[in-house]
Amino acid sequence: MRAVVQRVLSARVTVEDEVVGEIGAGLLVYLGVTHDDGADEVAWLARKVWDLRILREERSASDTGAPVLVVSQFTLYGDARKGRRPTWQAAAPGEVSEPVYAAFCAELRRLGAGVEEGRFGAGMRVESVNDGPFTVLLER
């Protein structure tokens, strides 16, 4: 499981001109799922994102109550080491990754996070105003 976490001043996800998720200052999380990710990876990564001290003054979302916008991102498992076209073999297919994505969002909520979501599998337009910019790659 991989996540790119950005500290943002605002972020919004639209699908066909409909806003499906939007936050003010908080964290934008792009989440990638591989074939063998499960409950252990979900619990670890959700806790890591919630407690990661990357907000201003070395504070975390759990410290401040900052919201989290989660966007599914299979391309985090793209492999472009050979040739000019990436392969996506390490990314789990939708029927595997969608329940893991949902479990990750649910676990963040269980921890106390205000969570907004993109729309799994949709062609999404993601707009963000980065704060910093500050971006971290997390992997379990």
128 three-state secondary structure: strand
The question of whether 134 is a catalytic residue gets the answer: no
Phi-psi region of 17 (alpha: psi -120 to 50; beta: other; left: phi over 0): left
Of 24, 20, 36, nearest to 105 by C-alpha is: 20
CATH superfamily membership of 2-139: D-tyrosyl-tRNA(Tyr) deacylase (3.50.80.10)
Domain boundaries, the chain: 2-139
Is 75 an annotated catalytic residue?
yes
E-strand ranges in 16-124 read 18-23, 26-32, 68-72, 115-117
Catalytic annotation, pick one of 6, 14, 34, 73: 73
**Could you read off the pLDDT of 21-60 as tens digits, one per residue?**
999 999 999 999 999 999 999 999 999 999 999 999 999 9
Reading phi first (left if > 0) and then psi (alpha if -120 to 50, else beta), residue 132 is in: left
Residue pLDDT, tens place only, 71-93: 999 999 999 999 999 999 999 99
Q: Which residue in the list 64, 75, 87, 89 is annotated as catalytic?
A: 75
Which residue is catalytic, options 14, 34, 74, 104? Answer: 74
